[in-house]
């Protein structure tokens, strides 16, 4: 069982590692360039996304600490994504990369949060499909 501090550390690690890959990904990297501090750089670095990363981390801390109502978080998510005009395959790519990220840690202690996280990702994927496709 992870302590609150360890849980936050694990969330930070997953989010940072996922975004390091996603921001330069051949399929979805261009979506993140839309919100980069330095969109003209060929290779994006994590520090170009500091305000974004903070919001993402807070979102996930909240997902794993409070009894979050799914409707509330979906509204936040849709608000952030409506203007991006995401294609179906881009959603698939995001999901694949995120699941890959979660599969990297094989520590017994992270098993519980990983399973919850996978479940949440699948819920959000369904919600995205319903709204956008």
Give residues in contact with ligand HEM (CB under 6 A): 28, 31-32, 34-35, 52, 55-56, 59, 76-77, 80-81, 84, 86, 90-91, 94, 124-125, 128
Q: How far is the CB of 2 from ligand HEM (least distance, A)?
A: 21
Contact (CB, 8 A) for 31 and 80: no
Q: How far is the CB of 72 from ligand HEM (least distance, A)?
A: 12
CA-based angle 130:21:122, to the nearest 5?
25
Query: Cα(118)–Cα(67) distance, rounded to whole angstroms?
Result: 17
With a CB cutoff of 8 Å and minimum separation 6, the contacts of 4 are 65
Q: How far is the CB of 46 from ligand HEM (least distance, A)?
A: 14
Please, which residue, 50 or 106, has the CB nearer to ligand HEM? 50
């Amino acid at each position: 069982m992870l302590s609150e501090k360890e849980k936050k550390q694990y969330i930070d690690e997953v989010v940072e590692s996922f975004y390091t890959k996603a921001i330069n990904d051949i399929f979805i990297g261009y979506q993140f360039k839309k919100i980069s501090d330095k969109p003209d750089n060929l290779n994006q670095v994590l520090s170009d996304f500091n305000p974004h990363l903070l919001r993402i981390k807070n979102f996930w801390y909240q997902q794993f600490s409070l009894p979050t109502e799914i409707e509330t978080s979906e509204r936040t998510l849709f608000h952030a994504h409506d203007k991006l005009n995401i294609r179906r395959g881009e959603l698939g790519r995001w999901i694949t990369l995120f699941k890959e990220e979660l599969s990297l840690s094989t520590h017994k202690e992270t098993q519980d949060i990983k399973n919850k996280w996978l479940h949440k990702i699948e819920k959000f994927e369904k919600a995205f499909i319903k709204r956008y496709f």
